[in-house]
């Protein structure tokens, strides 16, 4: 009787420097990447570069390729969690599906609220047209969506906001800010495109794993000027 030979995981290899510089947290069950703005998480039908090109390098000795546990828009920079094992992916999926993930975003918006903090409760639905393609809109028949916000700083004509989504709808933060009259700077869909790009950062994430997972991403280069104008200081920003 032939005995089955257990499969060995691939040997761990050194990460390419460009990817290693983006690794915010590494554990046996999960890792957190500082995803650059402009890089899609999944390869689209037209092909092109995506996070999928990084997965083999991020395997790092594991039997299976790591997989994203949640979504992050192509134009959004910052914390992206990937599960490194099948049990971890299942646990992460349950956490995100159950709304247990504590997510913090930073955004620089045009204009801004008068109050210091507040909450947006506006349902969202997906719409599409031949002329404009698909997008999200606030609509009474949409899915429930809520976002808490707090002002972190102000400058002439713009505001630095800390955003905490209570739900995880597509484009939620971008649509909510635009609907309030203060669109996120550089938003080509719900505001006005700029050469600098979308001023939205997935700043931090905390998950109730065992042990708990927490990570923080630094502001990307394309947001540092506007954040600094609103009061952010690189020398006092706690490292990730």
Active site residues: 73
Residue 191 CB partners (closer than 8 Å, separation 6+): 110, 174, 178, 183, 184, 185
DSSP line for 10-68: PPP-PPPHHHHTTEEEE-SSEEEEEEPTT--SS-BTTB---GGGGHHHHHTT-SS--EE
Question: Cβ distance 191 to 143 under 8 Å?
Answer: no
In degrees rounded to 5, what are phi and psi of residue 140? -60, -25
């Amino acid at each position: 009787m032939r005995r089955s030979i257990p499969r060995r995981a691939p040997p761990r290899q050194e990460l390419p420097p460009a990817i290693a510089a983006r690794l915010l947290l590494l554990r046996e069950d999960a890792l957190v990447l500082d995803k650059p703005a402009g890089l899609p998480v999944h390869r689209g039908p037209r092909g092109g570069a995506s996070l999928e090109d990084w997965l083999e390098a991020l395997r790092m000795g594991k039997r299976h390729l790591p997989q994203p546990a949640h979504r992050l828009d192509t134009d959004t920079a910052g914390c992206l969690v990937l599960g490194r094992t099948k049990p971890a992916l299942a646990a992460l999926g349950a956490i995100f599906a159950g709304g247990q993930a504590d997510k913090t975003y930073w955004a620089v918006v045009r204009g801004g609220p008068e109050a210091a903090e507040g909450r947006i409760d506006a349902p969202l639905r997906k719409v599409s047209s031949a002329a404009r393609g698909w997008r999200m809109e606030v609509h009474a028949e949409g899915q429930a969506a809520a976002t808490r916000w707090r002002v972190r700083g102000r400058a002439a004509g713009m505001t630095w906001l800390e955003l905490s989504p209570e739900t995880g709808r597509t484009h939620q933060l971008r649509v909510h800010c635009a609907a309030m009259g203060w669109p996120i700077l550089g938003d080509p869909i719900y505001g006005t495109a700029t050469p600098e790009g979308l001023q939205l950062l997935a700043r931090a994430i905390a998950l109730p794993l065992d042990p708990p997972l927490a990570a923080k991403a630094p502001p990307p280069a394309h947001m540092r000027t506007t954040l600094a104008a609103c009061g952010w200081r690189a020398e006092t920003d706690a490292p990730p």
